[in-house]
Structure 1
Amino acid sequence: MNHTERLPRNRTYLMCPPKHFTVEYAINPWMDTTVPVDAVLALKQWEILRDTLGDLGHQVHVLDAVAGLPDMVYAANGAFSVDGTVYGARFRYPERSAEADAHREFYTTQGWSFAGPQHINEGEGDFAYLPGAYGGTVLAGYGFRTDPAAHAEAQEVLGRPVVSLRLVDPAFYHLDTALAALDDRNVTYYPEAFSTASQRVLAQLFPDAVLADRADAEAFGLNLVSDGRHVILNTEATAMGDKVRAAGYLPVHVDLSELKRGGGSVKCAVAELRG
């Protein structure tokens, strides 16, 4: 497939620097409190990711880090926006609950239409939006962090159809560890992270999807950010880079080894602002 068929679109993103990033507690299988985080390296890697997005022509807003919230660097979890409307997050674990307030303050002071949630959901961690798929479709994960009731709530807030997908592997506890939008209508995903029924749904909706294997998923190769042409993913995910290249996209590798200690990679660190 010719790369010229894959056209980038300028995006706006929100990121939060890992100024207070540590692994002080374990709320997913990737977190090991016995291995210290290299705070200097984590910040350097984050800055390279931010600069990479900027160099590709995207605008990056920065949310101030808050002391005592070590996971705030995973900015994707704080909310989910579609066409200027924001569905706020409500975290599963109390260790992260105050992050939702910081995100709410950002959106409300910026003039977004913000809806506070009644149900537990972790923002773009468990929601993906494809504006070109079936007139604009939200894919939503549940099983570990986000309550299924949040999917119906998001549909009411955003006015877009929401497709519920059940996650079944604790290693892939958020949708964004198991599935990613490559452009406005195409996805890549690791089938075995989903229930059998959800696999059938995905196969029906996205027959041309780029399928990943377990090694790709464990390398956080699906925790990526794509502008429709450039696919930013971590350096460990070399095989995943080959797969997206074969599908006509251009992989851009960034080292995020420190952020993986907390159970996240490129996508976890980047929320898309869809104004």
Structure 2
Amino acid sequence: MCPPTHFAVTYAINPWMDPGQPVDRDLAVAQWTTLREAYTGLGHRVDVIDPVPGLPDMVFTANGAFVLGRRALGARFREEVRTPEAPVHREWLTSRGFDVHVPQAINEGEGDLAWTGKHILVGTGFRSSPEALAEIASVFGVPVIALDLVDPRFYHLDTALTVLDEHTIAYFPPAFSAASCRQLDALYPDAIVVGEEDAMHLGLNATSDGQNVVMAAQAKKMADQLAERGFIPVPVDVSELLKAGGGVKCATLELHT
């Protein structure tokens, strides 16, 4: 995680961002701190990368890389304003002993890559490039499944889908092409289908340890759906980060073992 010390909305690179809308940085820091405490309260270790002045989106560490075991694929951002974040994340991972691959194709880390325990789901259509699929498969040596995103509000995979455990996902079908919906239905016939109201709170921008699901506090119907399926919702208000199109997952890079 990275504290939102320099968080701001000074440009618009997704439909959620409006530079004319005020941002309360102190509130963002307080909400981020609560999110971090939620993780530590569940027994998870949280490592922190230092924020860099001039990189207002660096709080969204999920975009910085994808990590599986001791191997990592660094990010290559589509938007030039975020390009300087990539080497900062690579340096942090390298300094901690990870084998970091410098990407050739555009990929935006865990923003578009999701580990299911069996394969990597990859969202394309807005940010990560289809050319990244072969590179991802080569780096990690596991099956890769491409999913087409079609709604610009859900510009990253992690805004429209979350992996709950090795057998279960939750997702918002209208964010995906018809072909990708059919593919997800075949892979996950018991998936939790989330409605638009909760999707628009970025309720699906969540993290799960297989039991506890840390998620936007405003996605109340989704929380009920999770509880009905035996998961434990852990609601956290990160509404200030939503002004930049981010949420719980965006602020969390998971180091998958």
Aligned counterparts of 1:216 and 1:186: Cα–Cα separation in 2? 18
Counterpart selection for 1:243 from 199, 217, 225: 225
Q: Secondary structure in 2 aligned to 1:268? A: coil
Cα displacement (A) at 1:184: 2.5
Count of residues in Structure 1 that have an aligned counterpart in Structure 2: 257
Aligned counterparts of 1:166 and 1:41: Cα–Cα separation in 2? 34
- Number of the residue aligned with 2:173: 191
Aligned counterparts of 1:171 and 1:126: Cα–Cα separation in 2? 14
- Number of the residue aligned with 1:265: 247
- Number of the residue aligned with 1:231: 213
Counterpart selection for 2:60 from 74, 81, 85: 74
Once the two structures are superposed, what CA deviation does each residue of 1:206-235 show, in whole Å capped at 9, x if it has no partner? 011111121121110100011111111111
Once the two structures are superposed, what CA deviation does each residue of 1:29-76 show, in whole Å capped at 9, x if it has no partner? 000111111011100100000011001000000010000000000000
Partner amino acid, structure 1, of 2:12: A
Counterpart selection for 2:89 from 92, 97, 103: 103
Partner amino acid, structure 2, of 1:39: R
Q: Secondary structure in 1 aligned to 2:213? A: strand
8 A contact 2:159–2:204 mirrored in 1: yes
Matches within 5 A, 1:1-275: 15-131=1-117, 136-275=118-257
Aligned counterparts of 1:267 and 1:261: Cα–Cα separation in 2? 15
Aligned counterparts of 1:94 and 1:202: Cα–Cα separation in 2? 32
So what's the TM-score if we normalise by structure 1? 0.92
Once the two structures are superposed, what CA deviation does each residue of 1:86-115 show, in whole Å capped at 9, x if it has no partner? 011000101000110110001100010111
When the two chains are superposed, the root-mean-square deviation of aligned CA atoms in Å is 0.7
Runs of 4+ residues over 2 Å off in structure 1: none
Q: Secondary structure in 2 aligned to 1:107? A: helix
Aligned counterparts of 1:17 and 1:130: Cα–Cα separation in 2? 27
Partner amino acid, structure 2, of 1:271: L
* Structure 1 portions without partners, runs of 5+: 1-14
8 A contact 2:70–2:97 mirrored in 1: no
Cα displacement (A) at 1:186: 1.5
Once the two structures are superposed, what CA deviation does each residue of 1:226-252 show, in whole Å capped at 9, x if it has no partner? 111111111111111111111110101
- Number of the residue aligned with 1:3: none
Identity score, percent:
52
Structure with larger RCO (C-alpha < 8 A, sep 6+): 1
* Structure 2 portions without partners, runs of 5+: none
So what's the TM-score if we normalise by structure 2? 0.99
